[in-house]
Amino acid sequence: MAEKKNATVIAIGNQKGGVGKTSNTLHIAAGLGELKYKVLVIDLDANRGSTRALRLGKDWAGTFEVLLGTEEDPMNVIVTEEDDGVTLPQNVHVLPARRDLETFDKEFRNAKGKFQNAVDCLERPLALLRPEYDFILLDTAPNTMTPTVAAYRSADWFLLVSEATQLSLEGLGDALKDIDEANQNRETKLKLLGVVMCKVAERTRTASTYMQKIQAMFARADYGAFDTVITRAIAIEDAQGLGKTLFQTEPGHKVTALYRQLLKEILKRLKAAEAQPEMKVAANG
């Protein structure tokens, strides 16, 4: 019998789209998989970011059915490396999304008592899935639709992704406000794991300036920006064109090495948090 696990659930996002959220989700998942952790990516975006990036097609049943409660066992619709025509990163599984997520709120109203509150729709699926995985990564949408709020209410940690732009920085602030609202009715508070700065043109003055802004924004939180900065690379786009990550296409690439370095920081913070259960999420302003 396989050993039962208790997955750490991390929601990943920013309230601005196009900042590299999905790419970072999949590369973090692939990096964890390389370290022999068993990882599940749950695509909660109606735009199907992770699903499209991995070339899983348009008609896969997944998060819509699981959140609505019409699929009682989430394991039935999880995509694994054993599925025909699928090439996933090592030790990574995916719960894919369809555009149906756009209609979730309407369909929920017709679900007739599957659960009391729509924003609690992730609680039961995660309770069933936690024993099967080491990590569950929630790829959230850049909006406050129900699946996104459900992620904030159900995850253990939140990891923010940002570019070195003012709009991306403002998206961080919007996401923090949403987290605060979600935390108001939670016994166990959602904790900030950190901020990943990505798509950076090496260590420029602009990048350093925005790193300082992020550190100032999160000065009252336990964790702010990670030291590792993910630089821009055409190789990432080339890998995405093949439905893969750099861990599969170019494991020796310098950006792949940066993700390995980032993973060390993430795991170090998680380990430290085990000895310090009361974490602060607060940010300035």
Radius of gyration of the chain (CA): 18
Q: Do 87 and 81 form a contact (C-beta atoms < 8 A)?
A: yes
Tokens linked to 9? 């659930």
Residue 7 pLDDT level (bands cut at 50, 70, 90) = very high
283 pLDDT more than 50: no
- In terms of Cβ atoms closer than 10 Å to its own Cβ (0-12, 13-18, 19+), residue 6 is exposed
pLDDT (0 to 100) of residue 279: 52
212-220 mean pLDDT: 73
Closest CA to 173 of 195, 193, 157: 195
pTM of the model: 0.90
pLDDT (0 to 100) of residue 227: 86
10-38 mean pLDDT: 87
Render pLDDT for 51-108 as a digit per residue (tens, 0 to 9). 999 998 767 789 989 998 888 799 999 999 877 678 899 999 999 998 888 888 888 8
pLDDT (0 to 100) of residue 282: 44
Backbone angles phi and psi of 88, in degrees to 5:
-105, 160
SS3 85: coil
CATH number of 8-274: 3.40.50.300
Tokens linked to 39? 């990882």
**All structural domains of the chain with their residue ranges:** 8-274
DSSP 53-82: HTT--S----HHHHHHTSSS-GGGT-B-TT
> Across all residues in the chain, what is the average pLDDT?
84
Q: Do 14 and 175 form a contact (C-beta atoms < 8 A)?
A: yes
Residue 113 pLDDT level (bands cut at 50, 70, 90) = low
Which of the pair, 203 or 184, is modelled with greater confidence?
184
pLDDT (0 to 100) of residue 138: 96
185 pLDDT more than 70: no
